[in-house]
Amino acid sequence: MSTAMTQHVARLLLLPIFMIAIAVIVKGYADTGDGFAAGVIAALGVLLQYLAFGHEAAERMRIVRYAPLGALLGLIVALLVAFVPMLFGKPVLTHTPGVGEHAVHFGTLEFITPALFDIGVFLVVYGFAVGAIGAIARSYEGEGPR
Amino acid sequence: MMLLALAIPWFGGIVVALLDGRKRRTGLVAIAVLAASFIASIVNGIAIYRHGAQEMVAGGWEAGVGITLRLDTLGVAFTVLSLGVLLAALAFEVANGVQTRVFPALVLLMATGLTGLFLTGDAFNFYVFFEISMIAAYVMTSYGGQPRQLRASFIFAVVNLIGSVLFVIGIAAVYHITGRLDMAGIRDQMPLVSTSPAILTATIIFVAFSIKLGLFPFHFWLPPVYTGTTPAVAAILSGALANIGTYGILRFGGDLFPRELARGGNVLLILGSLSIVYGALQAISRGSAGEVLAYSAIGQVGYILIAIGIGGRAGFVAAILYAIINSLNKTALFFAMNLRGWIVSAAFAIGAFSVAGVPPALGFFAKLALFRLGANERDWWVVALVFIGGAMSFIYMFQLYGWRFLKPADGDETPTPLVAQLITGAVALALVALGVWPEPLLALSQHAASVLPGVAP
Amino acid sequence: MILILSLAVAVLFGAGAYLLLKHDLLRVIAGVVLIGNAANLFIMSAALTRGAAPLYPLEDPRTTSDPLVQAMTLTAIVISFGVSALLLGLIYLVYVAHLSVDMEQLSSAEEEQAGVDDELAAAALMPVDGDEDEAVAIAMSEHSE
């Protein structure tokens, strides 16, 4: 059911969806939102592309092709945030700067290690969800695995 | 330092997942990573032996607020055991030639899950690591690619998923009745909880672990899965993954719910006895090597359950000892199952002796511990059961030995790689060496049992 | 409120258990998902307090409801999400191998295949279904990336 209309809408919506996803991560430090929700939102945007253009066209997009790699990268980032403090003799998952300490601000955005952890989570969730969507889409269209 | 054993396989697993596991080089990298983690956990064990248990709260929060990670002898003993089995299985599979590209990464991720699970001091975190290792196991059972094994692995996944759901329901119930998730807090709060909710919660958690262990009424998923997969995966499932069940019942039963465990002791004894008899009878009547070993696995966990059911210091020591020995036995037997050659034949014989409890193999001490336990408690039927069970396992193991190794070789079988034979031989050699010099292992299980409350060090 | 929640948990669990007994593997997965959601609701109910606001906005810490159960539920949801994706992948492999996702058809197909295997093994011939094995091996390796 892919018409020119749906394709236009899908193409138009992709960028705003990613913007919302990023906003959800950033907002997570002052309001509701986190990397997991952002990853799911971004993956929904990709799902829309699959619906509108079919899996072949969708898989040509760079954000889809590198998603599984991004998931592994995200996992490494999150694990580094967790384990690097141990090198300095602190407990696992210690965040810097600590609670109540001074953090570098950019507007309302704070540069703290939990943000890095959340970006890792975002990449993991996004990569996993896009990978799962791709696998199911390929099998649904009866073409078998890659 | 203390989390190195956890961090190494986790990072290593991610890196290895990027590589093609069918290449020999990737397999060797994975083996190196796992060996490093194994050594790190042994170093941890020595540190604990010298300085006592270590504790760390993630993120520098107060105890009871953040996630607690706790290193004690019980956890480290199971970590070293599981990592050792995984290491042997990975080396065995690499020697035979890995068939899918994800297998080495899966072994590393399962090592991550198991290490985390044995190290955590937080009930919900236990569930998370538990799921990491189970998900690796779900994928692993479909490894091997035989179409007709897919159904077995599907059943395995669904049944164990129900077990996980039951477990998380149990954790939620624990949180509801105690208001705590850290194990120290639960231990403090449990005596204040009234009897019936406590018993109900303990039962749910016990059923969840019984499903993982493949105990008698929950065993139905086990034989098709064990017969369906490759020997290395079967060894991993029975030698490493089943430790979750033993450790879980010991940790939750012996440590967190000692009152409920004492009340339910008779149920454990009955289920354990049924498992032993059922497993042995089925194993005698089965025709294929995989099935005999699978039913034997059901029978062997019965002994562990009996030891836990009797409880007390001697009971927990016997349970830990039996769990360690059973893992090594099953690893040696599953490795030797499909191979040919004199080393393998000898290894199988040693494994069989060990299962039957005949000296000088290590299994003798496992049976001896149970024997003594029964005699001390004046539970003569436990003594009788151990004796009858041992005799039956002697019958089925040597029936199997007769079919497998005393038959003249067909001649058309593929030659076994020498390295795989040597690995099998090494596991068997460990069984004999520890059987001749068992003091370290006995001391280890004594020390590990002293972690559980009500048991003086 | 407790009554409504416990009824919801019971209905979800019951419906899930009913679906688990079906022959169609897709329904079995739907049953697993339902049971998982029953567990999630149960976790939420573990710290249910009447009329308390959620964590945010934080005004008076004594009247807020417990945020920990929500974190636990979120974790459980993520895990069940991953596992159901995995199970769907497994079903796809079953479908590729047997062209069916019906439990009864699968077991009869397996028996046939086992019979064929035995005959062939007796005659010491080549293993059967080489192509199919290969297809599944490829499917598996690709899928689990």
CB contact under 8 A, A91 and B56: yes
Give the sign of the dihedral formed by CA C11, CA C17, CA C18, CA C20. positive
If we measure between CA atoms, which residue out of B139, B103, B133 comes closest to residue B116? B133
Say how many CB pairs under 8 Å bridge A and B: 36
Touching A: B residues 36-95, CB under 8 Å: 56-60, 66-67, 69
What B152-155 contacts at long range (C-beta under 8 Å, 24+ apart), as own/partner pairs, is B152/B224, B152/B225, B152/B227, B152/B228, B153/B225, B153/B228, B153/B229, B153/C90, B154/C25, B154/C87, B154/C90, B154/C91, B154/C94, B155/B221, B155/B224, B155/B225
Using the structure block, give the residue that is written with the tokens 């290491």: B87
Specify the pLDDT at position B327.
93
B404-447 pLDDT, tens digit each: 777 665 554 556 788 888 888 898 888 888 888 888 888 888 88
Specify the pLDDT at position B145.
61
Gyration radius of chain B's alpha carbons: 21
**Average pLDDT across chain B, whole number:** 87
Specify the pLDDT at position C62.
63
* Neighbouring C-alpha atoms within 13 Å toward the C-beta of B99: 19
How far is CA B341 from each of CA B103, B404, B432, rounded to the nearest angstrom?
26, 11, 19
B197 touches C: beta carbon within 8 Å: no
For residue B135, what is the nearest residue in chain C, using CA coordinates?
Answer: C83
Touching C: B residues 142-181, CB under 8 Å: 142-143, 145-148, 150-151, 153-154, 157-158, 161-162, 165, 168-169, 171-173, 175-176, 181
pLDDT at B138 over 70: yes
Indicate the pLDDT class of residue C3, thresholds 50, 70 and 90. confident
Specify the pLDDT at position B41.
93
- Which secondary-structure segment (H or E) carries B55? strand B54-57
CB contact under 8 A, C96 and A146: no
**Do residues B58 and B66 touch, judged by C-beta distance below 8 A?**
yes
Q: What CA–CA distance (Å, rounded) separates A106 from B15? A: 34
Specify the pLDDT at position C50.
59
If we measure between CA atoms, which residue out of B49, B175, B22 comes closest to residue B104? B22
Choice between B83 and A109, residue whose per-residue pLDDT is larger: B83
Chain C residues with CB under 8 Å of A145 CB are: 96, 138-139, 142-143
Domain boundaries along the sequence of chain C: 2-143
Using the structure block, give the residue that is written with the tokens 């019979």: C115
Chain B residues with CB under 8 Å of C124 CB are: 412
Choice between C130 and B383, residue whose per-residue pLDDT is larger: B383
Choice between C124 and B70, residue whose per-residue pLDDT is larger: B70
CB contact under 8 A, C74 and A36: yes
Indicate the pLDDT class of residue C97, thresholds 50, 70 and 90. confident
Q: Report residues of chain A scoring pLDDT below 50.
A: 144-146
C128 touches A: beta carbon within 8 Å: no
Specify the pLDDT at position B405.
73
Specify the pLDDT at position C124.
39
CB contact under 8 A, A86 and B69: no
What proportion of chain B, given as a percentage, has pLDDT over 90?
A: 33
Which among B17, B18, B58 is the nearest to A92, CB-wise? Answer: B58
What A25-31 contacts at long range (C-beta under 8 Å, 24+ apart), as own/partner pairs, is A25/A115, A25/A118, A25/A119, A25/A122, A26/A109, A28/A118, A29/A108, A29/A109, A29/A110, A29/A112, A29/A114, A29/A115, A30/A108, A31/C56
pLDDT at B267 over 50: yes
Specify the pLDDT at position B90.
93
Specify the pLDDT at position C93.
80
**Average pLDDT across chain C, whole number:** 73
Specify the pLDDT at position A1.
55
Domain boundaries along the sequence of chain A: 4-140
| Token pair for B279 | 């497993």
Using the structure block, give the residue that is written with the tokens 């009447």: C50
| Mean pLDDT across B76-84 | 94
